[in-house]
Structure 1
Amino acid sequence: MNPAYLAFTLLGFIWGSNFLFMKLASVWISPAQIVFLRVLFGFIPLLVFALATRALKWRHLRHAPHFIVMSLLATTAYYYAFAKGAALLLSSVAGMLSGAIPLFSFICAWALLRDERPSGRMIAGMLCGFLGVLLIAHPWTSAGTGVNLAGVLYMVAGSLSVGCSFAYARRFLTGLDLS
């Protein structure tokens, strides 16, 4: 078997199960608690690794405002919106809508970065991607029979948040001397 197929299968399983776990967790705990636990259990091993490899330096504190913006865009707002959206949608729909992250990353890069200019093929691909998101959300169905519109909006907000974080990181963090 081609290793790429195995990698994509594992990635799909891990990424997809994330929405199933958020849906299950939302029955017992609030979206804010889901965010807190995700951040905590991601932070602890990263902190241990950073301390063990001595990657943290006191001089990095001068970049704290950028770290705060990134923590809001790439973690807090993103995780909260996805946890809230996953609580309101089927986990399969939430997982599919999370596929809008590259679409919003593209739009944010185009809007916020001067050196990113789209070609005609890129714009056509973007339009097809947004058409796919629209087909998944199908907002034209009557209330109660379709996909929860509030859940879709939360997923779109989360995708937009993380998309903005990529453009922000490219503009403000890429050139810094950080490990």
Structure 2
Amino acid sequence: MGGGPWAVPRLGVLALLWGSTFLWIKVTLEGLSPAQVTVARCALGAAALVVACRWAGHRLPRDRATWGRLVVAAFFCNALPFALFSVGQRTVDSGVAGVLNATTPLWSVLLGVALGTERAPRPVRLTGLLLGFVGVLTIFAPWGRAGLVSVDSLAILGAAASYAVGFAWMGRELAGRGGPRRR
């Protein structure tokens, strides 16, 4: 396995952070509304990014066009999915929310093919996507739980699809437009 001696611990920390997100949303919803959770997540994330940017010696963009693109990306990759996850997790278990979030790559390929930014998947990739879909469906098992397919579950699926829209937008409007500038 590549990546040096810190690859496995870094992967473990990443899995812990991403894997626990849905648990923390569920816990936070005990005292805050979905809107408050969304605003708090966005504000804390933006503050962390500004601090990281400053610490690395980068400056924020200065032109309106870049900020406009960033606002659209932030809406589809942060604000909208954070709101939909918070709304959905009022009744959906955090484990199920995590599994439904795993549909993001499926939405990404479907959206890419629909928009023409991606060719139809080759057989090997199509097989992988279908296996992924079957895996998510098997874990989700809507046929085995009454009431599991609900508006709240659909909100979580919408959050996963929103990430796909955001990724497509960033690929088209932000990627390759120059990296961060030093101060």
> Taking structure 1 as the reference length, what is the TM-score of the superposition?
0.84
Match of 2:86 in 1: 83
1:134 is displaced (CA, Å) by: 2.1
Corresponding residue to 1:66 among 54, 66, 69: 69
* 1:48 matched to 2:51: yes
Q: In 2 relative to 1, CA 156–103 (structure 1 residues): closer, same or farther, beyond 3 Å?
A: same
Match of 1:154 in 2: 155
Give structure 1 stretches of 5+ with no counterpart: none
CA offsets 1:81-102 (integer angstroms, 9 cap, x no match): 1222222211111112211122
Aligned sequence identity (%): 29
- 2-side partners of 1:174 and 1:48: how far apart? 22
Match of 1:174 in 2: 175
- 2-side partners of 1:57 and 1:9: how far apart? 33
**3-state SS, counterpart of residue 143 of structure 2:** coil
RMSD over equivalenced CA pairs, Å: 2.2
Q: In 2 relative to 1, CA 106–160 (structure 1 residues): closer, same or farther, beyond 3 Å?
A: same
1:152 is displaced (CA, Å) by: 2.1
- 2-side partners of 1:82 and 1:142: how far apart? 20
When structure 1 is superposed on structure 2, of 112-121 and 21-30 the one drifting more is 112-121
The amino acid that maps onto 2:62 is W
When structure 1 is superposed on structure 2, of 21-30 and 124-133 the one drifting more is 124-133
- 1-side partners of 2:149 and 2:62: how far apart? 46
CA offsets 1:111-166 (integer angstroms, 9 cap, x no match): 3243544101111211121222222333334635xx35233212210110001111
> Taking structure 2 as the reference length, what is the TM-score of the superposition?
0.83
Corresponding residue to 1:6 among 5, 9, 15: 9
Q: Is the 8 A contact 1:137 1:149 kept in 2?
A: no
The amino acid that maps onto 2:28 is A
Match of 1:128 in 2: 131
The amino acid that maps onto 2:108 is S
Q: In 2 relative to 1, CA 9–50 (structure 1 residues): closer, same or farther, beyond 3 Å?
A: closer
> What number of residue pairs does the alignment pair up?
175
Q: Is the 8 A contact 2:61 2:67 kept in 1?
A: no
- 1-side partners of 2:145 and 2:6: how far apart? 44
- 2-side partners of 1:148 and 1:27: how far apart? 22
Corresponding residue to 2:140 among 120, 137, 140: 137
- 1-side partners of 2:20 and 2:117: how far apart? 37
Match of 2:98 in 1: 95
Q: Which runs of 4+ in 1 moved over 4 A?
A: none
- 2-side partners of 1:13 and 1:40: how far apart? 21
- 2-side partners of 1:177 and 1:28: how far apart? 42
